Amino acid sequence: MKWVAKAGFLLVAATAMVSESERDNTGVDLLKTATRLFQHASDRTENRIPDGVLNRTKCVVLIAALSRASSNRSGVLACRDTLQRWTNPELITFTEARRAPNADLIVLILQDQALRSLRSSGRLHIRDDDPASSPFVSSAKLPKPAAVGSKLLVYQHAADRLSAVDTPIDGVIDDRRSKPELPAKGRADFLAAIEAYFNTIRPTGIVLHHTATIPSENALPRNAREVDEFHQQRGFEIKCSGRVYHEAYHFLIFPNGHVKKGRPENCEGAHAEGYNSYLGISLVGDFSGKDNPRGEKGATKPSQKQIDSLVRLCRRLRERYKFPLNHIVRHSEISHTACPGDRFPFTSVLQQVETSK
């Protein structure tokens, strides 16, 4: 594999659902095509690109890839201001040195170093002669973020689904030319569609947490509103399904066993970097022998009612989304944290989830 820009980026070769009259290289039509693609992909969550890939995305480049004699193709570039906010799209040019994939649309998702190269010179040479296999959330193993950071991942959208392809690509993105501003409505529709795609998940597992105490209160949260306000202060906001959510988890379980829903199950979490396509379930409490050795911060282990509710919830979610038992993990297994604490009875919970009827 040869790289001119040595950063990872994701390439999606997409067959967009457009009529013949819409197939041209203007920025307006590109936005329409891309908007429809992302809208459709958001509705079809059964074969998603992994959260660990999408979270590393810095920019999206959409390139017309029609069969024609010219090697110059129009494109649209949009970048992230923050994890949740995108800049207005702008026009770019892609000059191919090798015939691009036979699709209506190519989507390049640029990561850190590729973006720096593009911004520093206004040009980015993309070349890869051996595309890597492309992961999906339906795969048995979720790829680590570091594992996808140096690969060119290729997908094709056809027959209403994404699939991996092995099509090499070679060409140059050029962002230096002056270009007209794209129309406001087209920009807004596109940004809404791309936001929905990046914030929608097909749940692939469960990450178990404890809430610990809220620092400003030095106490366990008494209700879901306190968790929501704390997470709002930490910037965990997401817009999904037409609403804004702050709470990072998908479910909270209180000591009395009451289960409170957080953000919807089809919305990306904000509870475990690289694993936010896993559903976040947090038990109210601090179950760390180091942080809560004698129970000054509440019970030192989950209540039986909490465990019973957790087991029922995990079983129901496994039945709904068909992920394996080993996709139920503690936060401490995938991140540098003690959460949900050394007194959390993880092995017992898994045994009960597997054997409960």
What's the pLDDT tens digit per position in 229-258? 999 888 888 888 778 899 999 999 999 999
DSSP 8-state symbol, 198: H
The Cα–Cα gap between 96 and 169 comes to: 8
Q: Are residues 262 and 311 in the same domain?
A: yes
Boundary (domain end) residue, out of 177, 199, 221: 199
324 φ, ψ (degrees, to nearest 5): -75, 165
Domain that holds residue 262: 206-355
**3 belongs to a structural domain:** no
DSSP 8-state symbol, 322: -
DSSP 8-state symbol, 327: G
How confident is the model over 299-349, as pLDDT tens digits?
999 999 999 999 999 999 999 999 899 999 999 999 999 999 999 999 999
Q: Which residue is listed with tokens 């979610």?
A: 317
Residue 255, both tokens: 């000591």
Mean pLDDT of the 45-64 span: 74
On whether the CB atoms of residues 201 and 48 are closer than 8 A, the answer is yes
- Amino acid type, 182: L
Boundary (domain end) residue, out of 183, 199, 215: 199
Chain-centroid distance of CA 326 in Å reads 21
Q: Which CATH number goes with the domain that contains 307?
A: 3.40.80.10
Q: Are residues 90 and 128 in the same domain?
A: yes
How confident is the model over 103-154, as pLDDT tens digits?
667 777 777 777 888 888 888 887 765 555 667 766 544 545 444 554 556 6
Query: Looking at 40-49, 206-215, 323-332, which range is the least confident one?
Result: 40-49
The Cα–Cα gap between 280 and 99 comes to: 44
Q: Are residues 21 and 131 in the same domain?
A: yes
pLDDT of residue 8: 47
What strand order describes the sheet that includes 9-14?
A: 123-128, 169-174, 90-96, 72-79, 59-64, 105-110, 9-14, 152-158, 161-164
pLDDT of residue 273: 84
Cis bond upstream, residue 293 (ω within 30): no
Q: Are residues 176 and 221 in the same domain?
A: no
Relative orientation angle of helices 184-199 and 27-43, to the nearest 10 degrees: 30
The Cα–Cα gap between 351 and 355 comes to: 6
| Domain total in the chain | 2
pTM given for the model:
0.78
242 φ, ψ (degrees, to nearest 5): 80, 5
Q: Are residues 164 and 285 in the same domain?
A: no
Q: How confident is the model at residue 22 (pLDDT cuts 50, 70, 90)?
A: very low
pLDDT of residue 16: 45
Mean pLDDT of the 202-227 span: 90
Other beta carbons within 10 Å of 186: 19
Relative orientation angle of helices 304-321 and 346-355, to the nearest 10 degrees: 50
Q: Are residues 179 and 257 in the same domain?
A: no
